[in-house]
Structure 1
Amino acid sequence: RSSAPAVVKDHTHDNGNGETQHGTGTLEVYDEDSYCGIGSCRPPCVQVCKNMTSFSAAVSLASLVASALNSYITSQITTLERHFNFSSSISGFLLSCNDIGYLVTTLFMSYYTRRVHVPRAMALSTAIYGISGILCAVAFFGTRDQLSSPPKESFNAPVVFFTQMCQNATTAANLSCGDASTGPRTPFGITEHWKQIAIFILALGMILQGVAKSPRQPFIITYLDDNLPKTKTSVYLGAIVGLSFFGPALAFALGSVFSGMYITLEETNMTPYDPRFLGAWWLGFVIFGAAGIVVGLPMIFFPKRMRKRVELKEVKHKKDPNVSGIRRLWIDLK
């Protein structure tokens, strides 16, 4: 990796005693890691964003989306249970997959904090968040053809689904039990085979969320601490964390909106109170997933480090060859 040579500004003078006095100087380090951009593309016009305020704004937005996606499944767990006929134990397993991915990778990610390009690692983390959300939505697209068209009339009276309404050996197939060729179905027409696939897809998506969550805190804290005065680190960190607290509120607010839309987004006279109604739980995963990929892109262009000036300590060098080694060491250490 090429970088421009360092330029040292130093003030020297002879004090008349055989010693050359070197004053305090400034080392200008013009390396590509301290400029915004990628590779050789580092135009001066984008260097205006090379400050911690711009970085904190980008990270805050990414943290907001990641926090919202992290909480969104909680707002849709009831709809998922009805759609795929999940038991409470399966729902609990899916929710715990996020923590499983986090615990498996958090120590590894923390160890490599100072060995990576933090802004780009944060961009990758946010992109993985987005991919995990879109992956969770795949569980719906794989079963969309198995869903029947929504009835046009509304029916608000309570209805109880009975999963054992007929035997597979008979010809009386319905949404609950299916037929001999497809096997038993859930009340919404999902086969047992696709139910198991949906569990795998959702579990994988939640594990990826946990993996993407593990580097965020150590990476953000380290980058802020390395590029800010100690008195300002807490201010920027508080702003980032504070904005991420709005993520769950955003997730539940949009979750309530999507729950009022039919799962296939088709027109229907049914209301959410109709027991045959199923909310569009997958829509939030797609929106938050796509948003995660988009908001993560700007962080790719931030530099590995913001600071490029290193203040040199005042040193003294004696040219008189008669100076003893101990005295020269003392002069160099001063």
Structure 2
Amino acid sequence: MGNLLVITVVSYFGAKFHRPKIIGAGVLLMGIGTLLMALPHFIMGRYKYETAATHTNDADNFTVISTCSSDTQNTVQQLVSGCQKGEEESSPTWVIVLLGNIIRGIGEASIGPLGMSFIDDYALPENSAFYIGCLQTLGVIGPIFGYTLGSLCASLYVDIGLVNQETITITPQDSRWVGAWWLGYVVSGLLTLLAALPLWFLPRALPENHQTSEQDHHSNQHKHTPSITEIAKDFGPSLKRLLTNKIYLLYLVSNVVAFNAFAIFITYTPKYLEQQFGQSATKTNFLIGLTSIPPVALAVKI
């Protein structure tokens, strides 16, 4: 959502200014948004899984005693045949996760378009294709590392470091188990913040292509830096030319179809394996990351 809101504006206006710093600011936003998504864990308190199910004399119903959400025991009568559910407490902290994800998406919008255009403009012609290929490859294999990290975090108890692990009587195979879902966001958020630092020290033009750098330096001496108003005047005509380019639209549609299937796969397949085959989140993430994503990523690249 955040990516879609700003990617058009960022890719157009960002190309007119210092692209490495704009990319660095975007990566910094990604790190902040990722860390923000882990915040609910630190404000919601410890997880309590003391839940017991006991059958009554009536074979059509059972009683569930739960202390997961409060210190006092609440008894909820559920009818199995009618699938009647008791009231569940809701938490507004999902808004924090949504906000963090939107901020992360806004920061991510600068990496793809500005990064590839920066490489294409200032790298040597014989090297630019290799650099852009490396950038796209890293983006494709990223989910492999993400699922591997998610598998590791899911195998750790959610309150790791706060409770004595010897007192935990459930395992990841138990339906009441909650893994350290927040730990992956903390690790990736901190790594993202570190990755933003070098980008702030990159020059506006890479010195590798001396001819291009000298031309830009000579041009900047004779031309004034255009204002945002002057740049904005050409935004509408540029967008119109782009949307009327049949080759570009065909390429855009093909990419949307390809990555739509990829997004659906990585979103729903893990949950399907958990629910239909009784696999734990740890094993599911590991299987998806190492056995499924590589061939899908290779097919997309081909």
TM range (shorter): 0.5 to 0.7
Query: Please, which runs of 5 or more residues in structure 1 have no aligned partner?
Result: 1-99, 156-161, 167-171, 178-183, 312-334
Higher relative contact order (CA 8 A, sep 6+): 1
| C-alpha contact 2:119 2:128 (8 A) present in aligned 1 | yes
**Cα–Cα, structure 1 residues 207 and 236, in superposed 2: closer, same or farther, change >3 Å?**
same
What is the CA-CA distance between 1:243 and the residue it aligns to? 2.2
| C-alpha contact 1:144 1:264 (8 A) present in aligned 2 | no
Determine if the alignment matches structure 1 residue 218 to structure 2 residue 113.
Answer: yes
Correspondence list, 1:278-293, <5 A: 278-293=178-193
Q: Distance in 2 between matches of 1:260 and 1:295?
A: 27
**Pairwise CA RMSD of aligned residues?**
3.1
1:132 corresponds, among 6, 10, 33, to 33
Map of 2:244 onto structure 1: none
| C-alpha contact 2:37 2:96 (8 A) present in aligned 1 | yes
Correspondence list, 1:51-70, <5 A: none
Map of 2:235 onto structure 1: none
Q: Distance in 2 between matches of 1:250 and 1:129?
A: 17
Greater per-residue helix proportion: 2
- One-letter identity of the residue aligned with 1:298: P
Map of 1:141 onto structure 2: 42
- Give the secondary-structure state (helix, strand or coil) at the position aligned to 2:39: helix
| C-alpha contact 1:105 1:214 (8 A) present in aligned 2 | yes
- Give the secondary-structure state (helix, strand or coil) at the position aligned to 2:22: helix
**Cα–Cα, structure 1 residues 309 and 175, in superposed 2: closer, same or farther, change >3 Å?**
farther
- Give the secondary-structure state (helix, strand or coil) at the position aligned to 1:205: helix
1:254 corresponds, among 123, 135, 149, to 149
Q: Distance in 2 between matches of 1:303 and 1:163?
A: 67
Correspondence list, 1:1-334, <5 A: 100-145=1-46, 147-148=47-48, 173-174=73-74, 186=88, 191-192=89-90, 195=91, 197-265=92-160, 266=163, 267=165, 268-307=168-207, 308-310=213-215
What is the CA-CA distance between 1:273 and the residue it aligns to? 0.9
Q: Distance in 2 between matches of 1:136 and 1:212?
A: 14
- Give the secondary-structure state (helix, strand or coil) at the position aligned to 2:174: coil
Q: Distance in 2 between matches of 1:226 and 1:136?
A: 35
Q: Distance in 2 between matches of 1:295 and 1:163?
A: 52
| C-alpha contact 2:14 2:114 (8 A) present in aligned 1 | yes
**Cα–Cα, structure 1 residues 271 and 114, in superposed 2: closer, same or farther, change >3 Å?**
same
Identity %: 26
**Cα–Cα, structure 1 residues 107 and 310, in superposed 2: closer, same or farther, change >3 Å?**
closer
TM-score if structure 1 supplies the norm length?
0.50
TM-score if structure 2 supplies the norm length?
0.55
What is the CA-CA distance between 1:164 and the residue it aligns to? 8.2
| C-alpha contact 1:113 1:222 (8 A) present in aligned 2 | no
Q: Distance in 2 between matches of 1:143 and 1:109?
A: 36
Q: Distance in 2 between matches of 1:163 and 1:231?
A: 71
Count matched residues: 185
Query: Please, which runs of 5 or more residues in structure 2 have no aligned partner?
Result: 53-61, 67-71, 78-85, 208-212, 217-302
Q: Distance in 2 between matches of 1:125 and 1:185?
A: 41
**Cα–Cα, structure 1 residues 165 and 117, in superposed 2: closer, same or farther, change >3 Å?**
same
- One-letter identity of the residue aligned with 2:174: D
- One-letter identity of the residue aligned with 1:222: S
Q: Distance in 2 between matches of 1:107 and 1:163?
A: 55
- Larger of the two Rg values belongs to structure: 1
